[in-house]
Chain A
């Protein structure tokens, strides 16, 4: 295995660890959103739809566009637009970009990996997408759980 390949594997491992750490941090915040969403008329299908979109798309903008459209179309303010929950979620997801930047910056200088090779310039965006997926995964799980509790 070449030196570059070894470095690339080390980078991937460090990246996965950093994303997993962040994901655990997001759990509480995602639960708060799930809690707010249970007071709307949204059902499991809609929240699961968002999670599915996030896990299949290769663009962060697809996720935020999806949410923006649903907020915009919710004229009765009973679903995604209720009490600004959709808008807050858009801001939250866009804000995860800062975490992505921090992770990539730390990987460049820290973790004992002195990168002698240039990292993918698209890495920060890809990490941002991964973080959005993690956040929404927690949100969808909490929502289903809370909704089931509510219906019991």
Chain B
């Protein structure tokens, strides 16, 4: 397979994966709906989005989530801690997805470790894009929910 052919195939497979996993990310957001937007704020979600977009290593993403877990622990918010731990699990498991995808692209050695790391981060970026969009989509804004509570 030529390099161009490989890149095109990779792009197409990732696009198909992203469209398939949008529903999965939406389910995650829906199952934690009660925490949005007060316990898990839009600012935290945007922060996560910035980190996954700029991260050069998976460890950077893990560190960000670890910090959120620590903050929630200090505040005694078990539910928020649970959210970040659940997300960490999901994002960690996407490595398996990256591995499977890579196997379909380069069946021989399934690519290098660098290729795998890069693909893992790319899948995380797409998953988080879906997660943020769906979290904001169904969440009443602060002002609105405040008005209703009054």
Show the binding face of A for B, using Cβ within 8 Å: 58-62, 64-66, 68-69, 71-73, 75, 90, 122, 125
Q: A75-B144, A122-B12 are in contact. Are A59 and B133 (CB under 8 A)?
A: no
Q: Complex: how many Å from CA A141 to CA B15?
A: 27
Q: Complex: how many Å from CA A71 to CA B134?
A: 10
Asked whether, in the complex, the Cβ of A72 is within 8 Å of the Cβ of B136, the reply is yes
Asked whether, in the complex, the Cβ of B22 is within 8 Å of the Cβ of A61, the reply is yes
Residue of B nearest to A65 (CB): B133
| 5 interchain pairs, CB-CB under 8 A | A59-B18, A62-B18, A68-B137, A72-B137, A75-B143
Show the binding face of B for A, using Cβ within 8 Å: 11-12, 15-16, 18-19, 22, 126, 129-130, 132-139, 141, 143-144
Please give, as numbers and ranges, the residues of chain B lying within 8 Å of A68 by CB-CB distance.
133-134, 136-137
Please give, as numbers and ranges, the residues of chain A lying within 8 Å of B141 by CB-CB distance.
72, 75
Q: A58-B12, A58-B15, A59-B18 are in contact. Are A72 and B133 (CB under 8 A)?
A: yes
A37 to chain B, nearest CB (A): 18
Q: A72-B133, A75-B144, A122-B16 are in contact. Are A64 and B139 (CB under 8 A)?
A: no
Residue of A nearest to B129 (CB): A65
Q: A75-B141, A75-B143 are in contact. Are A61 and B136 (CB under 8 A)?
A: no
B66 to chain A, nearest CB (A): 26
Asked whether, in the complex, the Cβ of A60 is within 8 Å of the Cβ of B144, the reply is no
A-B contact count (CB 8 A): 48
Asked whether, in the complex, the Cβ of A65 is within 8 Å of the Cβ of B22, the reply is yes
Please give, as numbers and ranges, the residues of chain B lying within 8 Å of A60 by CB-CB distance.
19
Asked whether, in the complex, the Cβ of A65 is within 8 Å of the Cβ of B130, the reply is yes
Asked whether, in the complex, the Cβ of A61 is within 8 Å of the Cβ of B12, the reply is no
Please give, as numbers and ranges, the residues of chain B lying within 8 Å of A64 by CB-CB distance.
22, 133
B131 to chain A, nearest CB (A): 10
Q: A65-B130, A75-B144 are in contact. Are A59 and B137 (CB under 8 A)?
A: no
Beyond known contacts A61-B130, A72-B135: 7 more, CB 8 A cutoff: A58-B11, A58-B15, A60-B19, A62-B18, A65-B22, A72-B138, A125-B15
Please give, as numbers and ranges, the residues of chain B lying within 8 Å of A62 by CB-CB distance.
18
Q: Complex: how many Å from CA A23 to CA B10?
A: 29
Asked whether, in the complex, the Cβ of B22 is within 8 Å of the Cβ of A125, the reply is no
4 closest residue pairs by CB, A with B? A72-B136, A65-B133, A68-B137, A68-B133
Q: Complex: how many Å from CA A69 to CA B45?
A: 12
Asked whether, in the complex, the Cβ of A61 is within 8 Å of the Cβ of B19, the reply is yes
Q: Complex: how many Å from CA A66 to CA B12?
A: 20
A63 to chain B, nearest CB (A): 10
A129 to chain B, nearest CB (A): 8
Q: Which of A59, A71, A72, A75 contacts B15 (CB 8 A)?
A: A59
